Structure 1
Amino acid sequence: MMPSRSSQWEDTPETHLRQIIECLSSLIDLSKSVKVFAVKWQPIRAKLEELRSVLASMEEGGGVQGNPAFSRLMSAVMSSVTEGFDLVRRCVDLSYSGKLLMQSDLDIILAKFDLHSRSLSGMRAAGVVAPGCAIVVPRPASGACKEEMRFYVRDLLGRLKIGDAEMRRQALVSLRETISENEKYVRIVVEVGGVVSVLVGFLDLSDREVQEEAAKVVSLIAGFDSFKSVLIGAGVVSALIMVLECGSFVGKEASLACLAKLTENSDNAWSVSAHGGVIALMKICSSAESDPRLIHPACGVLKNLVGVHEIKSFMIEGGVIQMFISLLRSRDDNVRIGAMEILQAMASGDERTRQLIINGGGIRSLMRILDPSTTVSSRSREVVLVAVEKLCFSSATSIKTLIGHRFLDFLLYFLQRGEVPVQELALKVSAKLCAASEEANKAMGVAGFMPEFVGFLDSKSSEVRATAAEALSIMVLVPKSRKRFIQEDHHVSTLLRVLDLDDGNSGIKQSLISTLLAITRSSVGRRKVINSGYMKSIEKLAEGEVQDAKRLTRKLSTNRLRTMLSGIWYS
């Protein structure tokens, strides 16, 4: 179907170019015999004809093919042509493994030929310039006019198109530094025709340093929402995924950063999936040879993708839940965090997935991370607390499993000894847990959570005080917990003192009054409140129309009157 490898590259650059043109012609003719996926093959054939036309015009002009950049691009074109012959053969023989996979392969080859065509057109427009004769234009000073900036960007574009590998690398470094220092350059870079196409084309080159620098520049551009569509239109997704599959560590790192920014928009998730990105990302996460510094950002991109139901279903069928649960046992802190975050995202609003995670050993693995005896970062503690709440608090069975895995012991430990961010998050989670389950509420009363909540009522943070007050108002609804609370004089006095002092948060007052209403159900509780010396404060709140304060005042006043009458009667 095409010339043998031994005859592909002979004496001169002119001969090489002639052979590529002949191979393109042969591929065009053979593609016409394909009966399946005719709609897919039509744009591929049009792109092949466009490529052949550009190369034919270059052959007539002469001289360009002596340029090193042109030679490298010709190697890439020939590689894509070889791949095209293989796709033709599989379509003709009906030897492909699946329709969806073949459609994806055809989309990828179309993107490759489109990339080659635009790169060649750019070279033809630039002409042939000897790299050693290039004049380097200095970067404009800060505050330079737009025309000076455009001129500088155009000069960089010229060096990118016709320079050798080192000149290209230096131009890319200059472009990256320029964009980083002055955001106004980003719009100019995008507006100057050809820059984005050249950058995307460099992602497909074998020169690692050029590929890495191009990926960094593209990632910077992707940080601006208004320019993401330009990158997508230039075919950046397929190029980035190719870097993930066969690029260097630096190239993969920059490509992952770029994909993370692009997939913040769920519309771009389909493009990543169509070009085989989901499989490439899953491979990074599952491979024992993957650098942990790549696994975390790969998890981040996948987290963006699971917002699309079909993509999430495909991932689950591929076994990602067990893969991410196994990553929870990683020694790398960032890997564990990435795994926890994506599991949480997958389970959001999806009971079936939540159960798959729990039944797959998710709770056990999360508790290993939360265990105070393990050496993990505070950030890991925070993420695991949030993940546990999202995954487990909506099910009584899951909460029971949590309690069986010592979750209350760990939670109480961090309430007492955790670093401030972890401690405050543990308080929020504790409040939500006692509200989510009566069984958990009872167990927390026995375990000793109430004294910790009372202690937080003296916090300088109004948010912390409000959370502690809310948790107490829920816990005292359990009779045994209420009895424990009343038995401690310090608890009641602290509650009343905070109620008297806290003037800024009506939510705190409401929770504290709800707690008082609960504890005054017992005669001991009522007596302690009446004898506390804070009755005037409570009456003042009732006068101020604070919700439930009037009920509390009537309750306590009636009881106080009965006590007085009882004293008179028996005197």
Structure 2
Amino acid sequence: MGGGEQFPGVSGLRRAVELIRAVLSLSLSIRVFAGKWKLIRAKLEELHGGLIAAESCDSGENPSLSRLAAAAADTAGECHDLCRRCVDVSYSGKLLMQSDLDVALTKLDAHAKRLSEIYKTGILTNGFALVVSKPSLGASREDMRFYVRDLTTRMKIGDLGMKQQALRNLLEVVLEDEKYVKVMVDVGDVVHLLVGFLGSSEVEIQEESAKVVSVVAGFDSYKGVLVTAGVIAPLVKVLDCGSEVGKVASARCLMKLTENSDNAWCVSAHGGVSVLLKICDRADCGGDLVGPACRVLRNLVGVEEIKRFMVDQGAVATFIRLVRSKEEAIQVNSIGFLLSIASGDELVRQMVVREGGVRALLRVLDPKWSYSSKTREVAMRAVEDLCFSSPSSVAVLMSYGFVDQLIYYVRNGEVSIQDLALKVATRLCGTSEEAKKALGDAGFMQEFVKFLNAKSFEVREMAAEALSGMVMVPRNRKRFVQDDHNISLLLQLLDPEEGNSGNKKFLISILMCLTNCNSGRKKIVGSGYAKNIEKLAEAEVSSDAKKLAKKLSTNRFRSMLSGIWHS
């Protein structure tokens, strides 16, 4: 198969390109010498991409390129002959065919190296914007592979503009279709090429490479490929010395890679922890960078030695300051970091409280400041996690006016934060008698009573549980009894036929506690719904109901109850 005979009337460069394409197409049908043909096909794809790129360059009549094109066309012709014989299985012997294939591979490798040398001399210049023909959606895997190999060749031997365009095209396809990520990894040398580009002195090359690597890091099955290729060290370097765009892409990539805790030590070993802390400590860094940097550090605190290093480096104070940021991404991620570093560590938890962490969180919850609902919900959960394990922390919390903030959100908050505030108030109620008193003084009993009729069973149960704790305090009990509606509602909800009731165990517990004062007993037995206690007791639904009925029916109340319950 002669190059000139096959494609008459076209340039030498175009003839070589078409011959190589024909060989690649025919080679897909080969079923013998699979390993050899895989190597040959990879080299043909590299050469094909380089020659197409040369066609897009303003090179004029370059003698070196013309000679290379002619030689490549001749070798492609020889490969086509070998390809046909392998497809037809018409060769004379396996050893001889293997030798012929090795010779062809050596020639193709020499052509590819020569083309790379021609590019490096700078005699080929990019005369116009490259437009690489991208396969259509649903293209075959082979077409996708061919395209990625073509881009790889451009990245290897192209000038700066060509490399940039190839990287942009690669980023475009991996974002559009995740199948390209697998193809890219399978091609082999693409990952190592990208890792190498992270150390490029050309800012644009570094940035685009970091973006592509970050996409690949989003797939669990390929994180190991990146780490094995040595991606962490250059990512840390970009994070330290790169452009803002490069830093953001690197931080996002490290965020994904460190979701696997095995990679934490690698980041630390290359100085990543110090670099990340420095970023978070800088006042001029935006949320696009600080957000993922926080997430990386949060992923690393699970390693005790790294956490201790962070604490020693002043990370707690840094992130308390970041809670006061004006950007939601920074606020949310910094609160999340503080929770992670304090988790299961009472000393660090106390440090967060001591260094102003609670004040910073309560500022977020202060209605007079402008914060998003998301940030406030995160802050509310953080307050609960950080402060409720220690009586001293609860005392600090209440001294800062937390109860007033809670009642505000229970009364005025959006549904999500209202439910959260109710849960936190219920838990706060169980921390101490002082907390119960503070909640009672703030007016929480009236709010809990309202929620006894809520649609959600969980909310009804929380309200009943909180009230059962609050009425244990004498002054709360007195305040509760003063409102006749409260006792009537409790008794009404005890109706065995009432399907939409709260937790009867807690309701009975409240009533049992109210019998400890004369006015409470009188109002219970004087209520028109007092019969519900007897109904529950007689139905043997609840042993607590029997105890309550027995308590109410002793001494001077026996005749009163008999008159009411049996009238």
**If the length of structure 2 is used for normalisation, what is the TM-score?**
0.72
1:508 to 1:126, Cα distance in 2 relative to 1, 3 A: farther
Distance 1:230 1:215 in 2: 15
- Equivalent residues of 2:491, 2:530 under 8 A apart: no
Distance 1:196 1:468 in 2: 57
Matching residue of 2:476:
481
Matching residue of 2:256:
261
Deviation at 1:391, TM superposition (A): 1.2
Matching residue of 2:229:
234
Distance 1:129 1:528 in 2: 100
Matching residue of 1:204:
199
Distance 2:432 2:246 in 1: 49
Distance 1:414 1:278 in 2: 38
Distance 2:355 2:114 in 1: 58
Distance 2:114 2:463 in 1: 70
1:377 aligns with 2:366: no
The one-letter code sitting in structure 1 at the alignment partner of 2:372 is S
The one-letter code sitting in structure 2 at the alignment partner of 1:418 is G
Distance 1:511 1:520 in 2: 15
Deviation at 1:193, TM superposition (A): 0.6
The percentage of counterpart residues that share the same residue type is 55
1:495 aligns with 2:490: yes
RMSD: 3.0
The one-letter code sitting in structure 2 at the alignment partner of 1:411 is L
Q: Which moved more, 1:278-287 or 1:443-452?
A: 443-452
1:126 to 1:418, Cα distance in 2 relative to 1, 3 A: farther
Q: Deviations over 1:36-87 (max 9, x none)?
A: xxxxxxxxxxxxxxxxxxxxxxxxxxxxxxxxxxxxxxxxxxxxxxxxxxxx
Matching residue of 1:142:
137
Deviation at 1:353, TM superposition (A): 0.7
Deviation at 1:457, TM superposition (A): 2.6
5+ residue gaps, structure 2, are 1-111
Matching residue of 1:563:
559
1:471 to 1:163, Cα distance in 2 relative to 1, 3 A: farther
Aligned partner (choices 359, 364, 367) of residue 364 of structure 1: 359
1:241 to 1:535, Cα distance in 2 relative to 1, 3 A: same
The one-letter code sitting in structure 2 at the alignment partner of 1:376 is Y
Distance 2:155 2:527 in 1: 81
1:441 aligns with 2:458: no
Q: Deviations over 1:149-199 (max 9, x none)?
A: 222222222222222222222222222222222222222222221121112
Structure 1 or 2, whichever has the larger Rg, is: 2
The one-letter code sitting in structure 2 at the alignment partner of 1:562 is R
The one-letter code sitting in structure 2 at the alignment partner of 1:168 is K
Q: Deviations over 1:414-444 (max 9, x none)?
A: 2222222222211111111111222111221
- Equivalent residues of 1:530, 1:560 under 8 A apart: no
Matching residue of 1:280:
275
Aligned partner (choices 456, 460, 479) of residue 465 of structure 1: 460
1:315 aligns with 2:310: yes
Q: Deviations over 1:260-291 (max 9, x none)?
A: 11111211111110111000001101123323
SS in 1 for 2:139: coil
The one-letter code sitting in structure 1 at the alignment partner of 2:378 is V
Aligned partner (choices 417, 427, 430) of residue 425 of structure 2: 430
Q: Deviations over 1:329-351 (max 9, x none)?
A: 33334323322221111111101
- Equivalent residues of 1:492, 1:528 under 8 A apart: yes
1:410 aligns with 2:396: no
Deviation at 1:525, TM superposition (A): 3.1
1:314 to 1:532, Cα distance in 2 relative to 1, 3 A: same
Matching residue of 1:11:
none
1:354 aligns with 2:352: no
**If the length of structure 1 is used for normalisation, what is the TM-score?**
0.71
Q: Structure 2 matches for 1:188-203, cutoff 5 A?
A: 188-203=183-198
SS in 1 for 2:430: helix
Aligned partner (choices 143, 152, 158) of residue 147 of structure 2: 152
1:450 aligns with 2:445: yes
1:289 to 1:524, Cα distance in 2 relative to 1, 3 A: same
5+ residue gaps, structure 1, are 1-122
Deviation at 1:360, TM superposition (A): 1.6
The one-letter code sitting in structure 1 at the alignment partner of 2:430 is A
1:445 to 1:289, Cα distance in 2 relative to 1, 3 A: same
Matching residue of 2:211:
216
Deviation at 1:248, TM superposition (A): 1.5
1:387 aligns with 2:382: yes
Distance 1:199 1:559 in 2: 88
The one-letter code sitting in structure 1 at the alignment partner of 2:559 is T
Distance 1:405 1:224 in 2: 45
Q: Deviations over 1:101-125 (max 9, x none)?
A: xxxxxxxxxxxxxxxxxxxxxx969
- Equivalent residues of 2:130, 2:165 under 8 A apart: no
Matching residue of 1:420:
415
Distance 2:186 2:510 in 1: 64
Aligned partner (choices 288, 297, 301) of residue 292 of structure 2: 297
1:491 to 1:128, Cα distance in 2 relative to 1, 3 A: farther
1:488 to 1:153, Cα distance in 2 relative to 1, 3 A: same
Deviation at 1:211, TM superposition (A): 1.8
Deviation at 1:314, TM superposition (A): 0.5
The alignment covers a number of residue pairs equal to 446
1:548 to 1:223, Cα distance in 2 relative to 1, 3 A: farther
Deviation at 1:409, TM superposition (A): 1.4
Distance 1:278 1:498 in 2: 57
Matching residue of 2:394:
399
- Equivalent residues of 1:269, 1:305 under 8 A apart: yes
